[in-house]
Each structure stands twice: as C-alpha cells, then as structure tokens.
Amino acid sequence: MASLAFSGSQSAAKLADRALGSGPRAAPLELSVPRAARGRAAMTARSCHGARTLVGNSSGASDMPVLTGSEAVERLQAKRRGWKGKQQYLAMYSSVVGGIVTDPAAMVIPMDDHMVHRGHGVFDTAAIMDGHLYELDQHLDRIIRSASMAKIGLPFDRESMKGILIQTVSVSKCRKGSLRYWLSAGPGDFQLSPSGCAEPALYAIVIQDQSPFDSRGVKVVTSSVPIKPPQFATMKSVNYLPNVLSKMEAEENGTYAAIWLDNEGFIAEGPNMNVAFITEEKELLMPHFDKILSGCTAKRVLTIAEALVNEGKLRGIKLGNVTVEEGKAAEEMMLIGSGVLVRSVIQWDEQVIGDGKEGPVTQSLLDAIIEDMKSGSSSVRTPVPY
C-alpha cells in the first residue's frame, strides 16, 4: 500500500492532498522537482477564502508530478524540516513495518488502516517523567479494555506490548514527555467491515512537548455539543470529533474547555479530562465513571487524596451524581487528566467558582501528583533503560 498518513498533527487527507499531491486541493511544495517534471509543474493561486487552488500551465491542465517512493520520502523530509511546532516526535514504533524509526518523515501509517478511514482504533497515553513511564501498567490495562470493547484483537500479548513501548521510549532518549500508542484493526482495504484487515496493528510515538507548564486557573463553559453515549464514552477510541468540536466551542468563547452534561443533566466530563469539586464541607466530589471515561489520572488523584483526608485538609471523598448547581456552588473546581494534571477552574459560564482564584486543595493535589510522578512507588513508575 503506497498511500500514507502522517502520525502527527497533519491529517490523512492533508498528507494525501498536500504532501503527495493526490487531489484537486493539493498545494504544490516549493521543493526540488525531478527534471523531467519541472516543465510540467503547476502554478498556485490563492482564492478569496485563502485556500490554495491549482492554475494549469500553458496546456490548460494541471499536471502534478508522479513521484517514486524515494522522491516522496525526500519531500516529506523537506516538508518536516520546515515545520516548527512545540512538539517534537522523537521515535515511533509500527507493527506494520516491524520496527522503530526516528525520522519524523517515516512516522506514517497506511491509509487503508481501518483506524484511518473508519475510526476503528483505540489509544492511550503515558507520561514520561525523569526517565520513567508514569502509570504505564494502568494505561496499558485500559487500552486493552478499550480494544476489547471496540472488537479489536491484540497483535501481541500484554507483556510484549509493554516491552515494545518501553523500548520505543529508550530509543527516543526522551526523559520528559509522553508516549502515545494506538491499537487498530489494521490495514487491508477501504471497506466498512474490518474483515479484510490482515491483522491488528500497534503504533506508538514518543512526543517531547516544549510548552511551559501552566497551572493558572482557567474558565470553562457548558458544552452544547452532545456527549457521546456511554458505550463509546467509556472507551478511549480515536472517534474524537465530538471532543474536538467541544474544545473548539470553548476556544470560540474565550475559555479553556467545555463541560459535558450526561443525558440526565448531571455533570459528566470535559473534552479530554475529568472534573472534580471541593464542596463547602471540604469533600472531594467527582462524577462516577459509569457513563464517562475512567481517567487514570483521576483515579490516582482519588488515591492520593486519601492522604489529604488524613492530614485534615479534606473531610471525605465521594463519587456520584453531581448537579450543575452543586458544581457551580463548590468552593473549588478542577480539571484532571494526563495533559493538565490537576488544574483549577475559576469560572464556569458566568459563575465565579469560590473566590475566583486557584484553590488551595487543588494546588495540594497538583503538588502531590507531580511528586508521585517523580518519586512514587514502583506500581506507578516504570524505569526506562536508556
């Protein structure tokens, strides 16, 4: 299969249209073109909407070059060198090619992978802190559960997958970042059913994010995008369009995230994080996980919070249905996830939470989770042999 998709921020469609020039929306690259094709190169113009369109040559027809595999890779490499993002992709494993690559241009997946064109895949992420993978076992257990729910077989047994993930981080030399990995039904064809897929696939990529950590309080809104039904919300699948639209809605309103309510009107979760509250009675209150994703970080926070109960900073911990009224009347509100860790919410819609400042219990939980990532027990920290 010659068609490929980027594993990074570029979508499969963008790769096909822009990098390989395989569609009417393609944007020709300002790179060296094989001599035989130089006289046939199409010109570009910008439409009134800002999108690039093709303008034919003197013959009146656009004539894109037909590239060899090596020429396509050269173009991908040149294109990658021109991108300057905050995230750096240091290593990728693919069971399809059966190995690890460190060239971002080679971090690709087949276009006919059922995950690409049908969304038939699941994923998870483990943080890398000080040369250790944080909660790798917990995240690995969850992706296996998600794969079972999505009827995706395992390409390897659990311990083999764990070994592959650890080795990928080792090759990357990354000591602080994240490891994201996917299980898919695999490549095969473009049919709706995965029956034509030869075997399931495992992909993993090590990401080093150079964005500075920000613990300042944020504002949120109530999402108008419908929440996924429990069957899909409780598995971590690649079907994230509702999550993306919810996040976009928040940004359009000048806020950080949009909060979902379940079908009964109770507080559910954010687009890629759990939510929790500190009540006036100093209880940690969190929606239960029967209709939402069971967050590994959220579950770890619940365990860590027990120490705050013993110290008298909390009076108790409670999981259950949480109404919007209870949430907005709380003394503190927080977002919890592997990306944000524990972050204060200072305003929800028009309601200021507590005194409108970062909450002290939220800060204590953030400090505790960071310390746990740096020096927690072997049950949550897996060393990487570099």
Active-site positions read 236
Rounded Cα–Cα distance for residues 242 and 225 (Å): 7
Helix residue ranges, H only, the chain: 12-14, 35-38, 69-81, 114-118, 136-149, 158-172, 230-233, 241-252, 296-310, 324-328, 360-375
Measured in degrees and rounded to the nearest 5, phi and psi for residue 36 equal -65, -20
Max Cα-Cα span within the chain: 80
Helix residue ranges, H only, 51-106: 69-81
Beta strands in the chain (DSSP E): 4-6, 43-46, 52-55, 87-94, 99-101, 108-110, 121-129, 132-134, 176-184, 201-209, 218-222, 257-259, 274-278, 283-286, 316-319, 332-337, 341-348, 351-352, 381-383
3-state secondary structure of 133: strand
